[in-house]
Amino acid sequence: MSFLSNVALRSTTGAFILNSGLGKLNADEETYKWLQDMGSKAVPSLSTLSPTTFGKGLAYSEIALGSALLCPVVTAKIAGLGLTAFSAGLLTMYLNDDSLTLDDGVRPSQEGVSYAKDIAFLGSGLALVLSRKKK
């Protein structure tokens, strides 16, 4: 993978995820509860946390991942592994919520369109993981 394609993948996903995390830092309890309910569809044990603990943890995780993607000293493979794991979790949530998909369980419903973007994050993460360092 060329340097420019690596920068393109990392900067677009990194900026998006960093902004998302920063936006969640000062959310209210109701928002954290909603996020926790959505996350619990992918990982049921998340429902045992307090909504604030979950919400702040999610915010800090997104800030850390977004920062790692934007930081050039973090290798593409490490940043890609983080992005791949993060997007796999989001896709699990998407696929486990019947209201987000059409009857086939894959294509997004109107409510699911904003979550379906996570497949692009997965592709970006895998591209970074599979990239080869120039010799």
Instruction: Express each pLDDT in 59-97 by its tens digit.
Output: 999 999 999 999 999 999 999 999 999 999 888 888 888
Most distant CA pair in the chain, distance: 51
pTM of the model: 0.88
Higher pLDDT residue, 135 or 72? 72
Query: Whose CA is closest to 49, among 61, 37, 63?
Result: 37
How far is 68 from 118, CA to CA, in rounded Å?
18
Instruction: Express each pLDDT in 21-46 by its tens digit.
Output: 999 999 999 999 999 998 998 889 99
115, pLDDT greater than 90? no
Q: State the CB neighbour count (10 A cutoff) for residue 50.
A: 12
pLDDT value of residue 1? 58
Confidence of residue 135 (pLDDT cuts 50, 70, 90): low
pLDDT value of residue 134? 64
